[in-house]
Amino acid sequence: MLPRIRAITLDLDDTLWPIMPAIDRAEAALDAWLAAHTPQVATQWPLPRRQALRLQVDRERPEMAHDMTAQRHLMLERMFALSGEPASHVEPAFEAYFAARCEVEHYPDTVDALERLAARLPLASVSNGNACLTRIGLMPLFRFQLGAREHGAAKPTPSIYLEACERLGVDPAAVLHVGDDVEADVVGAARAGLRTCWIDRRGERWPRDDIRPDLHLPDLAALADWVDAHLATDTPTA
């Protein structure tokens, strides 16, 4: 049985909502902005060419791998420069993209489960992505949002989980990290000393033998059920 859990950290993309519909929406919003404000750039930089430029930027600047916002800004800066357009376009173009990126479609269980969890335990998000919980409307349920951009390194680097534990004021062994990614959410958090929950919405088989999640659940509703039962039967020690 797991020790007493005193806080929960959660991944965001593909844990609270599917990421690809949000990214598709964001790219479409950028296409629309370019067509309205810089039609020549829109013609020169359709999505496949933008994606190739993004990959090129990523290869050239590996030290920025943890900062998706900076990567996107650099891609836009280069795109406009190569098209002979001023850098003043970068911020409004990014805003068009990012506003749509934060228009996420929650999994059906997400909001109710988060409300149940937040009523029981302090929640914090630990994510490699750059989604904004304030824009999305979930920030009132979280103590804080910790991203790889702010921390300076991405999961599965142990330090990002440990910073979250320190900010929560809870020992890592009493923090449950929840997410969908085998390496970033389970292996990384376990190596940092946290307890782990793998959210497996597709019903897959756990792929590793050396490290296993403490909990293997199909969705956040099941996690909320587990927390209710765990706290109801757990007797804290002094």
**138 and 113 within one domain:** yes
**221 and 130 within one domain:** yes
**125 and 80 within one domain:** no
**131 and 48 within one domain:** no
Residue 123, SS3 per DSSP: strand
Which pLDDT value is given to residue 235? Answer: 54
Query: Of the residues 78, 101, 124, which one is the last residue of a structural domain?
Result: 101
**86 and 172 within one domain:** no
Residue 105's CB is within 10 A of a number of other CB atoms, namely: 11
- Domain of 133, CATH number, reads 3.40.50.1000
What are the phi and psi torsion angles at 45 (to 5°)? Answer: -125, 70
**139 and 112 within one domain:** yes
**Is residue 90 one of the residues assigned to a domain?**
yes
Closest CA to 18 of 101, 123, 83: 101
Q: What is the largest CA-CA distance in the chain?
A: 68
**Is residue 30 one of the residues assigned to a domain?**
yes
Query: Of the residues 68, 101, 134, which one is the last residue of a structural domain?
Result: 101
**154 and 203 within one domain:** yes
Which pLDDT value is given to residue 234? Answer: 67
Query: Of the residues 101, 116, 146, which one is the last residue of a structural domain?
Result: 101
- 225 included as an active-site residue: no
- Domain of 56, CATH number, reads 1.20.120.1600
Which pLDDT value is given to residue 190? Answer: 98
From the candidates 11, 180, 185, 214, give the one annotated as an active-site residue.
11
Going by the DSSP 8-state scheme, the letter that residue 187 receives in this structure is I
Which pLDDT value is given to residue 2? Answer: 76
Model pTM? 0.93
**214 and 186 within one domain:** yes
**Is residue 29 one of the residues assigned to a domain?**
yes
Side-chain half-sphere of 13: how many Cα atoms within 13 Å?
A: 16
Instruction: Per-residue pLDDT tens, the chain, 238 aa: give them.
Output: 677 999 999 999 999 999 999 999 999 999 999 999 999 999 999 999 999 999 999 999 999 899 999 999 999 999 999 999 999 999 999 999 999 999 999 999 999 999 999 999 999 999 999 999 999 999 999 999 999 999 999 999 999 999 999 999 999 999 999 999 999 999 999 999 999 999 999 999 999 999 999 999 999 999 999 999 988 776 544 3
Give me the number of domains the chain comprises. Answer: 2
* CA atoms of 42 and 169, how far apart (whole Å): 48
Which pLDDT value is given to residue 233? Answer: 74
**144 and 39 within one domain:** no
**77 and 27 within one domain:** yes
**91 and 44 within one domain:** yes
**Is residue 2 one of the residues assigned to a domain?**
no
**Structural domain that includes position 124:** 7-18+105-233
